[in-house]
């Protein structure tokens, strides 16, 4: 099992409000990265959006400050030429001694035109398909001549091999029909936001089926927030504390923005919240408990990963175990603020989880089997 933290340049106790937001600069991001490295997480996801910093530059600046953590760098296909991306990836992989993972982010309709990509939803995935096909050939050392619908390359060859073979793992998020096929064809780990386990399990079955048709195997990762406290009551009180800091106008702005998205993944998240609430406005945090111990409160104030597992360490571990049972072995978790919660989760939860941590130079296992640990406390 791999457990990653989250490293986005937007943070605070409740960063949807000015007074809940903290300044995130290089010194702060460095502290979070060093905590992740020190505490036994497998690594961290460096997402795009939510802040103005660039994920590649941020990741590269943190290599010399860390020794073990892996960096999952979000990449939007098509913005840089595939050979340029291959060069960046190989350089990062060499300089970090094999600690790079790429997260393929195809992007939403409104997000891509400023970067020069003016394509509709399904065409973006057609571009993604071409792009990662070419990228994988380059990383494997081929000289590539390619003329596709979106890309043209002649005599492209990567002269610097990556450390990880055949190339640093490719993670991927996207829930639409073309997304599932691209994931099955090109990627190593398919990621989804924290839908309830039965729904997430359906996606796993479908991606697995499509991957088998390509003769491939894909692993599965879950991106979810955590609110872990020593007792369940404290954990739900913490959720209520956050809920009390969500103003109606913030909910309205976010929900209007959400309905304008062409992302199927986002629409599925919206549906999960909508199904629970109907036309009613939530009055208490627990009105948003969409599945036992799964709280959709973050979905009121942000796009993307809108759910959190809430509870004492054993409850949270048991719920992660339920996700593991439907096929997930990779978890990208977070809490706010990123620094304090990285410590809290490491202190309370990580000892209950069977985390495998591997780098190019070492391998060790921390924690015990889920079930032995879950229920270990009276």
Closest CB to ligand FMN among 176 and 187? 176
CB of residue 165 to ligand FMN, shortest distance in Å: 25
Nearer to ligand FMN, 161 or 274 (CB): 274
Q: Is residue 191 within the footprint of ligand FMN (CB under 6 A)?
A: yes
Strands 144-147 and 152-156: antiparallel
Considering the rule CB under 6 A, would residue 123 count as an interface residue with ligand FMN?
Answer: no
Q: Which of 56, 193, 298, 370 binds ligand FMN (CB under 6 A)?
A: 193
Q: Is 270 in the site for ligand FMN (CB under 6 A)?
A: no
* Residue 346 CB partners (closer than 8 Å, separation 6+): 35, 39, 40, 41
Among 63, 126, 251, 264, interactor with ligand FMN by CB under 6 A: 264
| 3-state SS class at 86 | helix
Residue from 7, 36, 44, 47 touching ligand FMN (CB under 6 A): that is 47
Segment contacting ligand FMN by CB under 6 A, of 133-141, 155-163, 188-196, 318-326: 188-196
Residues near 36 by beta carbon (within 8 Å), at least 6 away in sequence: 5, 7, 43, 44, 66, 69, 342
Cα–Cα dist 72/154, whole Å: 29
Size of the residue set binding ligand FMN (CB under 6 A): 21
- Whole-number Cα distances in Å, 123 to 109, 132, 144, 206: 11, 14, 23, 21
Kindly state whether residue 223 participates in binding ligand FMN, applying the rule CB under 6 A: yes
Burial string for 234-246 (b: 16+ CB within 10 Å, else e) reads ebbebbeebbeeb
Q: Which of 12, 17, 21, 49 binds ligand FMN (CB under 6 A)?
A: 49
Verify binding: residue 175, ligand FMN, rule CB under 6 A: yes
SS3 289: strand
> Using CB under 6 A, which of the segments 148-156, 172-180, 210-218, 343-351 binds ligand FMN?
172-180
Distance from C-alpha of 111 to C-alpha of 118, rounded to nearest angstrom: 10
Instruction: Give least dist CB 268 to ligand FMN, A.
Output: 8
SS (H, E, C) 66-84: CCCCEEEEEECCCCCCHHH
Sign of CA dihedral 51, 53, 56, 58: negative
Residues 12-41 that bind ligand FMN (CB under 6 A): none
Among 29, 36, 74, 119, binds ligand FMN (CB under 6 A): 74
3-state secondary structure of 183: helix
| Residues in contact with ligand FMN, shown as a per-residue x/- string from 130 to 169 under the rule CB under 6 A | ----------------------------------------
Query: Using CB under 6 A, which of 79, 83, 88, 108 touches ligand FMN?
Result: 108
Among 168, 265, 297, 311, binds ligand FMN (CB under 6 A): 265
Q: Of 75 and 235, which CB lies nearer to ligand FMN in the complex structure? A: 75
Measured from the CB atom, is 35 or 74 closer to ligand FMN? 74
* 246 near ligand FMN, rule: CB under 6 A: no
179 binds ligand FMN (CB under 6 A): yes
Q: What stretches of 96-230 show up as alpha helix (H) in DSSP?
A: 121-139, 177-186, 197-213
- Interface residues with ligand FMN (CB under 6 A)? 47-49, 74, 105-108, 111, 173-176, 179, 191-193, 223, 263-265
């Amino acid at each position: 099992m791999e457990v990653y933290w989250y490293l986005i340049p937007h943070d605070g106790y409740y960063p949807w409000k000015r007074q809940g937001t903290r300044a995130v600069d290089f010194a702060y991001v460095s502290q979070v990265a060093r905590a992740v490295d020190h505490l036994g997480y497998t690594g961290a996801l460096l997402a795009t959006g939510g802040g103005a910093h660039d994920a590649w530059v941020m990741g590269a600046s943190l290599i010399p400050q860390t020794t073990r953590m892996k960096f999952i760098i979000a990449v939007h296909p098509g913005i840089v030429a595939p050979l340029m991306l291959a060069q960046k990836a190989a350089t990062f992989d060499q300089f970090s001694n094999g600690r790079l993972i790429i997260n393929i982010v195809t992007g939403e309709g409104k997000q891509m035109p400023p970067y020069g990509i003016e394509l509709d939803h399904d065409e973006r995935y057609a571009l993604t398909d071409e792009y990662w096909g070419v990228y994988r050939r380059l990383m494997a050392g081929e000289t590539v001549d390619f003329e596709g619908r979106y890309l043209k390359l002649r005599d492209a060859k990567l002269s610097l091999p990556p450390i990880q073979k055949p190339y640093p793992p490719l993670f991927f998020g996207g829930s639409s029909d073309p997304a599932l096929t691209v994931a099955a064809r090109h990627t190593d780990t398919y990621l989804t936001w924290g839908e309830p386990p039965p729904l997430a399990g359906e996606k796993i079955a479908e991606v697995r089926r499509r991957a088998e048709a390509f003769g491939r195997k894909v692993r599965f990762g879950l991106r979810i927030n955590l609110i872990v406290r020593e007792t369940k009551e404290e954990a739900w009180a913490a959720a209520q504390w956050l809920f009390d800091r969500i103003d109606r106008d913030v909910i309205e702005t976010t929900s209007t923005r959400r309905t304008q998205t062409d992302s199927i993944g986002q629409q599925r998240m919206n549906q999960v919240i909508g199904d629970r609430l109907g036309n009613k406005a939530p009055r208490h945090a627990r009105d948003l408990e969409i599945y036992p111990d799964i709280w959709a409160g973050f979905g009121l104030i942000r796009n993307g990963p809108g759910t959190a597992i809430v509870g004492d360490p054993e409850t949270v571990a048991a719920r992660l175990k339920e996700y593991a049972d439907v096929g997930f072995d990779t978890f990208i978790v977070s809490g706010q603020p990123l620094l304090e919660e990285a410590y809290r989760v490491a202190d309370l939860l990580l000892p209950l989880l069977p985390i495998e941590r591997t780098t190019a130079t070492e391998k060790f296992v921390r924690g015990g089997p889920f079930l032995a640990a879950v229920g270990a406390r009276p």
